[in-house]
Structure 1
Amino acid sequence: MTENRSYLQKYAMHFGTYMGVYWILKFILFPLGLSIPFLLFLFVGLTLGVPFMGYYYVRTYRDKVCGGSIKFLQAWIFTVFMYMFAALLTAVAHFIYFRFIDHGFIIQTYMAMLETMDKNNVPGMGGYMEQLRDLMDTISSLTPIDITMQLMSQNVFYGSLLAIPTALFVMRKPKSPEMQPL
């Protein structure tokens, strides 16, 4: 059992590193996408690909390490660990970006969008504009470490939710000896 746990952690770190690098490369597209819409579209598309990437990694773990069978709980724990390790690696990049690179760019861009919407009297937004401004003021008061911790906790939370359907799709009972060909 201890050997299985060490394999689980080792491979969760391994695949979590791959996913973390993917998330970092994907994150680079977000601030760029605020100026170039195609890059924001690409960011959203790559974000939608994360669950499929997670499924592929858990399936690979099941087939290569677990001999083709894995229980739901083991698959769920592996997936949560993988997303957690990816979130930890990505948090380093988030902190570096918000501490040394951003200098309020994202907030200023969103504030400019709000001003444009306010000037153009976008239908249905009248009551929400003040709430959105208050939200932007609150977000702009956060420190880089606050933003990083918030993003990391969101990544872990959503990863643990994604782990449920992933584990359901990946789990497989061991084949019984009488069903295997001779």
Structure 2
Amino acid sequence: MRADIIKHAMQYGLYLGLILGAKFFLAMTQSAFLSFFAMIMWLAIPFFIYLIVKKYRDEQLGGFISFHEGWSLSFWIIFFGGMILEVIQFVYFQFINTTYLPDILQQTTQMMDKMNLSMPHQNLDIMEKIMTHPNLYVLTDFIMYTLISGAILSLIIAAFVKRKANPYQ
């Protein structure tokens, strides 16, 4: 892997993290318009990452990039952006709105009761532990959404952005 991939990923990961942080705060508002705008931002993120990797391919690599390099750059951008988002979420849930996660847990259990749905007791205990400890919530969110979803999204982006050099030139 090229050493400058990490440098570019950190730079653009910072931008992505700030965008994700803005999206997070927009989604937390009670405004339907701002929540809708946050959803549009969420849908635009793969395109944003694609453009970054394409720009890197064209400007830094002379128009050619392997699937692995494309996947690596895309994944590391998502990784660093996700880290910034998780710090923002941790600060928000731990210090600014400390009742948000427990309230969501309570609303979820009430909705399940109204719908006559049941959950195994141990699953409910795990969910309660995660939702009452912001550090566990942030860690779970990072693993599930940043690492797993980021790896899958990076596969798709890399497939679109890869371009091999012509061996006969």
What's the % identity of the aligned pairs? 28
- Tell me what 1:31 maps to: 28
CA distance 1:136–1:102, change in 2 (3 Å): farther
Decide whether the 8 Å contact of 1:104 with 1:140 is kept in 2.
Answer: no
Aligned residues: 166
- Tell me what 2:134 maps to: 144
C-alpha RMSD of matched pairs (Å) = 2.6
- Tell me what 2:77 maps to: 82
Q: Does 1:54 align with 2:49?
A: yes
Q: Does 1:65 align with 2:60?
A: yes
Q: CA deviation at 1:80?
A: 1.0
Distance 1:67 1:151 in 2: 37
5+ residue gaps, structure 1: none
Q: Which amino acid aligns with 1:12?
A: A
Q: Does 1:165 align with 2:160?
A: no
Decide whether the 8 Å contact of 2:93 with 2:100 is kept in 1.
Answer: no
Distance 1:41 1:85 in 2: 25
Decide whether the 8 Å contact of 2:105 with 2:131 is kept in 1.
Answer: no
- Tell me what 2:95 maps to: 100
CA distance 1:157–1:109, change in 2 (3 Å): closer
5+ residue gaps, structure 2: none
Q: CA deviation at 1:175?
A: 4.3
What SS class does the counterpart of residue 49 from structure 1 fall into?
helix
